[in-house]
């Protein structure tokens, strides 16, 4: 497949993963819903507003849950747009305003597939917006994590399993970079931090005395009441049952 100019398409991904590669660089951008990119033995969650650039001839696959939508941008091998090749495979983020514009343009692009003139105009605008976002993101120097953003994600998903891949996607960093920066900044690993957040919530729910311990364990994201009790005892030195008794 020979590509002479950047080309765009809007896709809805299914849950299957099929690895492939191509002879041109590619940018994929989350527009809506939740999708996942698997590349170089790691996974990246492509939440809305997050993009990933992939070099030519790199094995990767995409998958997504229901109601997802991604914008795919295929680039000519010789593309000079921010010299994509020099950056390697990496993720980037859009500011809220740019994401909103690109979402609207992606919808219009999908609905105007038969209008060549309009499609080309939309593609040109998308190219400019993504170019600006790439240039801005690569000029930034990430020194500290936005813990308010990370805490918000954890709070919203506290009942579910939360992986380092998901948290690194929220911070728009590679997993290794996120892990090292998180441990340096917080003094503990992301896993330990999430566990403490779960147990802090458990203490709060126990103090309210409105739910049985089995439901507290479920609401805090533990797979069983037994695993909840073990984690609670390790951190606080007492069982949830004894803690509940002493706060009467």
87-97 as b/e, with b when 16 or more CB fall inside 10 Å? eebbbbbbeee
How many Å apart are CA 110 and CA 100, to the nearest integer?
A: 16
pLDDT band at 248 (very low <50, low <70, confident <90, very high): low
Tell me, what's the pLDDT at 82? Answer: 46
Tell me, what's the pLDDT at 217? Answer: 94
Which 3 state secondary structure label does DSSP give 226? helix
Is residue 76 over pLDDT 80? no
Mean pLDDT value of segment 76-102: 62
pLDDT band at 222 (very low <50, low <70, confident <90, very high): very high
pLDDT band at 213 (very low <50, low <70, confident <90, very high): very high
Tell me, what's the pLDDT at 81? Answer: 44
41-59 as b/e, with b when 16 or more CB fall inside 10 Å? eebbbbbbbbbbbbbeeee
Mean pLDDT value of segment 44-60: 82
Q: What Cα–Cα distance (Å) separates residue 129 from each residue in 8, 34, 95, 98? A: 13, 22, 11, 7
How many Å apart are CA 115 and CA 96, to the nearest integer?
A: 28
Tell me, what's the pLDDT at 139? Answer: 46
Tell me, what's the pLDDT at 190? Answer: 95
Is residue 5 over pLDDT 60? no
β-bridge pairing 42-46 and 7-11: unpaired
Is residue 209 over pLDDT 90? no
pTM above 0.75, yes or no: no
Tell me, what's the pLDDT at 205? Answer: 93
Mean pLDDT value of segment 203-217: 90
Mean pLDDT estimate for the chain: 81
Residue 226 or 46, more confident: 226
Percent of the chain with pLDDT over 90: 24
User: pLDDT tens-digit profile of 142-191?
Assistant: 567 888 888 988 998 999 999 888 888 777 676 777 888 899 999 999 99
Tell me, what's the pLDDT at 77? Answer: 61
Mean pLDDT value of segment 30-52: 81
CB atoms within 10 A of CB 136: 14
Is residue 98 over pLDDT 90? no
61 phi/psi in degrees, rounded to 5: -145, 160
Tell me, what's the pLDDT at 84? Answer: 46
∠ CA 63-168-66 to the nearest 5 degrees? 25
User: pLDDT tens-digit profile of 104-153?
Assistant: 988 888 888 788 888 888 888 888 887 777 665 544 545 678 888 889 88
């Amino acid at each position: 497949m020979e590509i002479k100019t950047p080309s765009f398409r809007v896709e809805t991904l299914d849950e299957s993963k099929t690895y492939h590669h191509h002879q041109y660089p590619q940018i994929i951008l989350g527009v809506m819903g939740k999708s996942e990119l698997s590349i170089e033995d790691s996974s990246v969650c492509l939440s809305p507003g997050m993009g990933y650039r992939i070099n030519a001839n790199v094995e990767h696959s995409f998958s997504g849950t229901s109601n997802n939508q991604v914008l795919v941008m295929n680039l000519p091998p010789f593309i000079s747009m921010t010299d994509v090749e020099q950056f390697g495979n990496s993720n980037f983020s859009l500011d809220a305003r740019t994401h909103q514009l690109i979402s609207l343009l992606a919808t219009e692009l999908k609905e105007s597939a038969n209008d060549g003139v309009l499609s080309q105009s939309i593609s040109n605008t998308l190219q400019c917006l993504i170019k600006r976002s790439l240039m801005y993101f690569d000029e930034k120097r990430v020194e500290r994590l936005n813990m308010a953003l990370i805490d918000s994600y954890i709070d919203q998903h506290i009942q579910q399993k939360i992986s380092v891949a998901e948290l690194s996607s929220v911070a728009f960093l590679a997993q290794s970079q996120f892990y090292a920066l998180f441990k340096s900044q917080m003094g503990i690993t992301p896993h330990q931090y999430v566990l403490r957040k779960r147990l802090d919530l458990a203490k709060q729910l126990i103090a309210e005395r409105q739910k049985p311990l089995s439901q507290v364990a479920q609401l805090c994201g533990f797979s069983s009441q037994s695993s909840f009790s073990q984690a609670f005892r390790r951190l606080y030195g007492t069982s949830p049952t004894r803690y509940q008794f002493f706060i009467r």
